[in-house]
Amino acid sequence: MVLNRRFHQPPMMHPRRRADISKRNVDTLFQSADFQHGVARRLAGAVQIPTVTYDGMGPVGQDARWEIFYEFSAYLKETFPKLYRALVVETVNEHGLLYSWHGSERELKPLLFMAHSDVVPAGKANSNEWTYPPFSGHYDGEFIWGRGSEDDKSNLIAMLTAVECLLDCDFKPDRTLVIAVGFDEEGGADQSYGARCLAERLIKRYGQNGVEVIFDEGIAGIEQRYGTEFALPATAEKGYVDVAVTVTVPGGHSSTPPDHTAIGFLAQVIARIEGNPFKSQLIRQNPTLTFLRQAALLSKNMPDDLRDAILETHSSKKLLEYMDADRERRAMVRTSTAVDMIQGGDKVNSLPENVTALVNHRIAIQDSVQDVKDHYIQLLAPWAEKWNFNLDAFGERRQAKNIPCRSSAVTEGGTLTLTAQYELESSPVSEWEDPRFRWLASTIKGVFGDNVVVAPELLSGNTDTRYYWNLSPQIYRMSPWRASHDPRGTRMHTVDERMPVKGLMEMVRFYHEFIRTVDEMRV
């Protein structure tokens, strides 16, 4: 690894045309308390509509739980009447929304913003732990509280508000702007009623690589690290696969148990899986490597030994040791393994015949879905042979040899079955040296200050962009606000999710300026 090649931070950039817009909106309107409270109340109203998606929801039109999304669409139309008059608004599969603000230069590829209207459940078991009810949309002048206030209704409200402010200034774009709003991003991995349908519509309309830049949600993108503010747009996502591990053995009465029940055997398998993690690697294509280089070159308080390990090629072992020492860092360089669900046994005096564990994997850039499958086969085939089990691994069956075993536990044999559910390879990596990344970095600096260091990062989760890979090679994922605005840290997907008004206004300003900047740029 050669780590000492410097990525020069681009200069901060402000839109050059229409200085009157900057004066009216950025310098005056956005500083107004009345305007800020108005935007906050818009978000509060959006939070009050419980657009929850659950795993395994049925198709739109068949599952009644989708009906609430009609109310949300009506709320947006009522809240942004000027935008609905000026833009072309399409409904896709009932609840997906596609806003198109057509530019005057049709040969320019469009800018695409993404968001989603659905939220995760708030959980009845912990409802009493919320400071305010999870769908109250309580606004206390500093925070908007409730499920979806951060993930992801804040981005959506900020985008639409930014467009409305530009409409108020009679801004007419050269480049078409598209806002695609999915409605099942938080659903199960096998659901694809929203973003997939939106992506199919856009592919037909603009063609392969027909979009200039795609910008979607991500982490709260401005963070303090090593005493320095970093903006961290993700330029890639890890892959995904769930592996179901099932042990099948003869049942019977619990009064005459074998040495190991099906659950006992499964426990051995789980211990073997957890005890043999995937190998950590930091390859050149991983955006984490670029972030580390930028941190080593530009951060204020990075320890000298870590800085040296990053910048010196012979210190790669030490660098990997540093990454492996923390689970958040480790996730950036390794395929993760999480045993999340287990099923088996239905009565205390009956030996279970079938037990299953579901293991979630977020696949690192250096690995593939097939690598995960191969890892399981290599790891568990010896175990199956030891215990005289048949091995049915991802559709390929290996018969047990039926060799007599010393332990009475396996006299009747068994089967170990491995199946893969929802296979997704890691995403393409958007090139950080591309001029479009510099457009983004320069805009971020213009909004958040020249002292902010912009560096790409890898996203360990998955967003709706998984359906949009064919639309553009430049896809960025980031929620453009300072995480430091909430001293408790971001609370997405947990109790007391909330959005600081300061962060919400940073989002509005970012989208307002990025639309104008990209409108002026040409590749």
Confirm whether residue 107 is marked as ligand binding: no
Percent residues over pLDDT 70 in the chain? 95
**Amino acid sitting at position 117:** S
Q: Is the dihedral of CA 16, 20, 23, 24 positive or negative?
A: negative
Q: Does the structural domain 239-279+334-424 have CATH classification 3.30.70.360? A: yes
Close Cβ partners of 282 (under 8 Å, ≥ 6 residues apart) = 1, 288, 289, 316, 319, 320, 323, 333
Q: Which pTM value belongs to this model?
A: 0.93
Residue-level pLDDT at 314: 61
pLDDT greater than 80 at residue 467 = yes
Tell me the per-residue pLDDT of 316-368, one tens digit each, with 9 for 90 and over: 788 999 999 999 999 999 999 999 999 999 999 999 999 999 999 999 999 99
Spatial distance between the Cα atoms of 242 and 322, rounded to a whole number of angstroms: 28
Query: What are the pLDDT digits (tens) for 242-288?
Result: 999 999 999 999 999 999 999 999 999 999 999 999 999 999 999 99
List every span in the chain annotated with CATH 3.40.630.10: 19-238+427-520
- Predicted confidence at residue 7, as pLDDT, reads 56
Each residue's pLDDT tens digit, 185-221 = 998 766 789 999 999 999 999 999 999 999 999 887 8
Q: Which burial class, exposed, middle or buried, applies to 239 when counting CB atoms under 10 A from its CB (0-12, 13-18, 19+)?
A: buried
**pLDDT value for 2:** 41
Measured in Å, how far apart are the chain's first and last C-alpha atoms?
Answer: 30
| Cα–Cα distance, 161 to 504 (Å, whole number) | 11
pLDDT value at 458 more than 80? yes
CA 398 centroid distance within chain:
37
Specify the range with the lowest mean pLDDT, choosing from 21-35, 121-135, 442-456.
121-135
Q: How far is residue 316's CA from residue 309's CA, in Å, rounded to a whole number?
A: 7
Q: Is the pLDDT of residue 408 over 80?
A: no
The CA–CA distances, whole Å, from 318 to 158, 295, 301 equal: 42, 16, 19
Catalytic residue among 150, 152, 164, 185: 185
- State pLDDT tens for residues 92-105: 999 999 999 999 99
Q: Is 151 annotated as a binding residue?
A: yes
SS3 content of the chain, % helix, strand, coil (to 5): 35, 20, 40
Nearest Cα residue to 294 out of 229, 346, 350:
229
Of 17-31, 37-51, 406-420, the range with the lowest mean pLDDT is 406-420
Any binding-site annotation on 216? yes
Average pLDDT over residues 135-155: 97
Domain limits, CATH 3.30.70.360, in the chain:
239-279+334-424
- The domain 19-238+427-520: what is its CATH number? 3.40.630.10
Q: Is 229's pLDDT higher than 50?
A: yes
Region of poorest pLDDT, from 103-112, 259-268, 410-419, 457-466: 410-419
Tell whether the model's pLDDT for residue 510 goes beyond 90: yes
The whole-angstrom separation of Cα 391 and Cα 399 is: 7
- Read off the tokens for 285: 């294509």
Is the predicted pLDDT of residue 481 greater than 60, yes or no?
A: yes
Place of tokens 């009810």: 133
Q: Annotated catalytic residue: which of 118, 242, 464, 486?
A: 118
Q: Which has the closest alpha carbon to 331: 243, 457, 228? A: 457
How much is the pLDDT for 5? 45
Q: Which two tokens stand for residue 96?
A: 């997906």
Mean local confidence (pLDDT), 150-177: 98
- 185 a catalytic residue: yes
116 is in an annotated binding site: yes
* Token reading at 222: 């401005």
Mean pLDDT of the chain: 93
